[in-house]
A and B are shown apart, each in its own frame.
Chain A
Amino acid sequence: GAGVSQSPRYKVTKRGQDVALRCDPISGHVSLYWYRQALGQGPEFLTYFNYEAQQDKSGLPNDRFSAERPEGSISTLTIQRTEQRDSAMYRCASSSNRGTNEKLFFGSGTQLSVL
């Protein structure tokens, strides 16, 4: 597709369940980023990849959160044993190269609600 695609658009789950959020970046984009955005706040960095290599995971809150990008394209953010505090909008972004000033293209996000 022409833009960054995220699925599902909405995810409602019960506390303790695992969830997997998918991001399909713009074709050919080298870098892929995951952010989390709480209501009324700016996006908070979670992790990012260059190709299939995870470059920085310093923003992942704890070891229940993990991400992968095995073939350097589609990425999955997995949250194990979800908790209510994990409820937020999860946003994915991609950029065409690894430059520090490159434009990020954001998807519309996955709204996660943990009951």
Chain B
Amino acid sequence: AQSVTQLGSHVSVSEGALVLLRCNYSSSVPPYLFWYVQYPNQGLQLLLKYTSAATLVKGINGFEAEFKKSETSFHLTKPSAHMSDAAEYFCAVSVNTGKLIFGQGTTLQVKP
């Protein structure tokens, strides 16, 4: 069975600071990994996805994530936080269907 653990339900950074949101996964077979973002009163939007083509994945809005098999991690980073990045972020894993298993989410707060 697959699972995802997001470390830290709330992360607070200052505007311009590095953003690091942590995600660890469990899967018995090579996984597909995703990060989705959810803004208030909106649906989830795909930020980026890992599909084994490259371990460093670049997404929208300056976000990127690195797949580390040895650490079973897929942490999300952005060099410089912007106020508009404040949202809830979800890491997800899938294996052999489009069915996604989501983590519990991390709320990112960006302080001016």
Contact = CB atoms under 8 A, between A and B. Distances in A.
B105 A40 contact: yes
Contacts of B51: 101
B46 A103 contact: yes
Contact of B44 (A44, A91, A95): A91
B98 A41 contact: no
B42 interface: yes
B74 interface: no
Contacts of B96: 100
A106 B49 CA distance: 16
A102 interface: yes
B28 interface: no
Contacts, number: 68
Interface residues on B, range: 20 to 34
Given A4-B43, A48-B98, A91-B43, A100 B104 contact: no
A44 B100 CA distance: 8
A105 B104 CA distance: 19
A25 interface: no
Residue of A40, A48, A104 ringed by the most chain B CB atoms within 10 A: A104
B97 interface: yes
Given A42-B103, A48-B99, 7 more contacts: A43-B90, A48-B97, A56-B99, A103-B49, A106-B36, A108-B43, A109-B43
